[in-house]
Amino acid sequence: MNRVGIEPRAVTRWLILGVIGLLMALPIVAMVEFSLRGAPGEYTLDHWTGILDPENERKYRGLFEGVGNSLLLAVVTVLIVNAMLVPTMVLVALRFPKLQRWLEFVCLIPITVPAIVLVVGLAPVYGVVSRIFGSSIWTLAFAYGITVLPYAYRAVRAAMDAVDIVTLSEAARSLGAGWLTVFFRVLVPNIRRGMLAASVIATAVVLGEFTIASLLNRENLQTSVLLISRSDPYVATIFALLALLFAFALLVIIGRVGAVQPRRSSS
């Protein structure tokens, strides 16, 4: 008797996942293997332990600076998303529903405008920015806020669509709440999951960003890793692995957080 349904057979499923999974795992395995290479034919942990060796402190200083810069940029970008984008989205949904389509359009533009194009015009803008804010690294987050806009918008929008924020806020208002209370005590708790997702995605994008930093001659994780790879490819590889692992852990967490949300099931 034939099977009915859209699901693959177990054999098919594991064959597909196995083959593609294996191919996808190869580069990462190769990185691990590479990071363990010592003298020809031998493996060693020296490259890993060497990172924290005080003797190499000078050598790796730039690298750690890059890491620090990227983390700072991630924080500021997350701040931009949550303190600027989210309130704007809420405001538009509640007070200017007609602008909804425009906001969406604007937020999705960065998909059409590649970072490599944006950076051409960002150079003169940053000329002005550094005159106002100085040339410290965190100002780069303004540009990163733009590049994460489509992802952040979608994550927050999904959360907003899941709860009827208009009704929620009307209910809260009718119970006597002021706008600030409505926002912080009613809306934010309900779209918190979307804000968290947006923050995690923003963090991942910022940690992986290379184009803008590189072409504006700023130092972040990616540019400093590329720089050090010329002199010490092993440590560059190790940092690449660690960054991958960190981002993966972040996304697993968000995945699990998303999984525990109550679902409206109809079966």
Partner 1 sequence: MTARRSGGRGWALLGLTPFSAYVVLFLAVPTVLALGTGLFDGDGALTLDNLTGLLEPAVLRSFVDLLWLSGLTAVLGAIAGALICFSLLGTREDGWLRTGISAASGVLAQFGGVMLAFAFIALIGIQGLLTQWLLRTFDADIYEGGVWLYQVPGLILPYLYFQIPLMVITFMPAMSGLKPQWAEASATLGGTGAVFWWRIGFPVLAPSFLGSLLLLFANAFSSYGTAAALVSQGAPIVPLQVRAALISETVLGRENMAGALAIGMIVVMVVLMKAYSALQSRAERWMR
Partner 2 sequence: MTASTPTGTRVQFRAVTKQYPGHRALDGVDLDIAPGEFVALLGPSGCGKTTALRSLAGLEQITDGEILLDGSDVAATPVNRRDMGMVFQSYSLFPHMTVLENVEFGLRMRKVGAASRRTRAEEALEMVGLGVHGKRFAHQLSGGQQQRVALARALVTRPKVLLLDEPLSALDAKVRVQLRDEIRRIQLELGITTLFVTHDQEEALAVADRVAVMKAGRIEQIGAPEDLYQRPSSAFVADFVGVSNRLPGTVSGGEIDVHGVLLPLLAPARPDGAAVALVRPEDVRFAAAGVAATVLTTSFLGALRRTRVALADGTELAVQHGTEVAPAEGAVVHLAFTGAPVALAD
Least gap, CB of 224 to partner 1 (angstroms): 10
Q: Where are the alpha helices (DSSP H) in the chain?
A: 10-35, 46-50, 57-80, 86-95, 100-112, 115-133, 140-147, 149-162, 165-174, 179-181, 188-208, 211-215, 221-231, 233-259
Residues of 173-205 as b/e, b for ≥16 C-beta within 10 angstroms?
A: eeeebeeeebbeebbeebbebbbbbbbbbbbbb
By the rule CB under 8 A, 123 interacts with partner 1 = yes
Binding string, 125-164, against partner 1, x = CB under 8 A? Answer: x----------------xx-xx--x---------------
Candidates 67, 73, 93, 122; binder of partner 1 (CB under 8 A) is: 122
Binds 88: which of partner 2, partner 1, none (CB < 5-8 Å by kind)? partner 1
N- to C-terminal Cα separation, the chain: 27
What does 1 interact with, of partner 1, partner 2, none (CB < 5 to 8 A by kind)?
partner 2
- Determine, following the binding rule CB under 8 A, whether residue 1 of this chain makes contact with partner 2: yes
Q: Which of 186, 193, 185, 183 is nearest to 162 (CA)?
A: 193
Find the radius of gyration of the CA atoms of the chain: 23
Q: What are phi and psi of 43, to 5 degrees?
A: -115, 150
Decide if 197 contacts 151 (C-beta within 8 A).
Answer: no
Q: Which is nearer to partner 2, 3 or 98 (CB)?
A: 3
- Report if residue 4 touches partner 2, rule: CB under 8 A: yes
Q: Is 10 in the site for partner 2 (CB under 8 A)?
A: no
Distance of CA 116 to the CA centre of its chain: 18
Whole-number minimum distance, CB 5 to partner 2, in Å? Answer: 8
Q: 56 to 115, contacts with partner 1 by CB under 8 A?
A: 80, 84-85, 87-88, 91-92, 95-96, 99, 106, 109-115
Smallest separation (angstroms) from partner 2 to the CB of 264: 13
Stretch that binds partner 1, among 29-37, 42-50, 51-59, 160-168 (CB under 8 A): 29-37
Q: Does 174 bind partner 1 (CB under 8 A)?
A: no
Give the Cα separation of 151 and 111 in Å (integer): 9
* Nearer of residues 231 and 267 to partner 2, judged by Cβ: 267
The footprint of partner 2 (CB under 8 A) covers: 1-2, 4, 266
